[in-house]
Amino acid sequence: MVHEKPLFWVGSLLEGTPTIIKAFHFNQLVLLDIYPILATPFYNLFKNPYIWFGILWGIPVPLVTTSLAMVFHAKENLHPAITHILQDPLQWFFLAHPLLFGILFGILGTIRQEKDTQIHNLVNRLKKLSTQDPLTGLANRRHFSKAFEEEAARTLRQNLPLSIVFLDLDFFKKINDTHGHHMGDTVLKEVSRYMKRQCRPFDTAARWGGEEFIILLPANDEREAAIYTERIRCGIASGFSEEIPFPITVSAGVARYEAGDSLEKLTERADQALYQAKQAGRNRVVVWEKEHCGPYPDKDGC
């Protein structure tokens, strides 16, 4: 939990060993702001093991001091009754040690848990930033490359097909020039959401760059990938989002993985098919084949 106040706590948990915690506010020593402590499970005895550790750590103190007091009273021929011993205020201080240690360890443990949670959340955020495109939320090229390597290895082991799809928004520069870059960003985000909804859990959709997208389709040959891509193309062309007040279309190229293909080689074939789709009039899907690139299926099938 991050505070907006100019309040800083001094102290650390070096190698798990707590040190004295202080707080400074406008150069004056003040009490540590305990609001985040109260807002955490600190007072839930069943969820904070540090409290129980502190109580167990403090239990020997009253046991030892009470035993010593009884031995002392016996040597001095005094009445060793426990009620007599408990009349000593100092002994009550010793008896309170389990509670004091429980509170102290609970506070320090909760602070450490809070810091560990913040570090964990920061690591997850950095991991997310390193694998996702910040605008669209799709995978970035780094994550896609890793996914391709894993799927290519699985494809060879299990003798399954693997295909990729290259999609490009038609006349995207015109959208930016006519409607502004903010609307251009909206188009990219809405198209990304739509593609992600069409993907299976094990498919990988990524933003390749600019207005280009790429989808990795495990266990799909080029025919199945083309049918899948045609469904996306038809959905976008028919108007899929209320956030976009004008029609948009996409062109796509499909290529199948062949043994020994690198990602660069496979994307090059898909890019050639995409180029053929652009040359043929846009708003269509073209499948790369060794002999030629041909549209599949006919774009009038929407």
Q: Are 103 and 54 in contact (CB under 8 A)?
A: yes
Any domain includes 2: no
Whole-structure pTM value:
0.64
Mean pLDDT of the chain: 80
The pLDDT, as a whole number, for residue 300 is 52
pLDDT at 142 over 70: yes
Any domain includes 3: no
Output 296 or 278, whichever has higher pLDDT.
278
Q: Is residue 126 domain-shared with residue 242, that is, in the same domain?
A: no
Output 290 or 83, whichever has higher pLDDT.
290
Any domain includes 18: yes
Any domain includes 173: yes
Any domain includes 1: no
Is 211 designated active site? yes
Q: Which alpha helices (H) appear in the chain, and where do they start and end?
A: 35-38, 49-58, 60-75, 82-85, 89-95, 97-131, 141-158, 172-179, 181-198, 222-237, 263-279
The pLDDT, as a whole number, for residue 85 is 65
Q: Is residue 23 domain-shared with residue 84, that is, in the same domain?
A: yes
Mean pLDDT of 171-178: 95
Last residue of some domain: 81, 112, 131? 131
Lowest pLDDT segment from 11-25, 119-133, 185-199, 233-247: 11-25
Q: Is residue 107 domain-shared with residue 223, that is, in the same domain?
A: no
Indicate the residue type of 275. Y
Q: What is the band of 27 on the pLDDT scale with cuts at 50, 70, 90? A: very low
User: How far is the C-alpha of 205 from the C-alpha of 143, rounded, in Å?
Assistant: 10
For residue 100, give its domain range.
Answer: 8-131
Using only C-alpha atoms, the chain has a radius of gyration, in whole angstroms, of 33
Last residue of some domain: 90, 111, 131? 131
Last residue of some domain: 102, 131, 160? 131
Q: Which of 151, 190, 211, 222 is catalytic?
A: 211
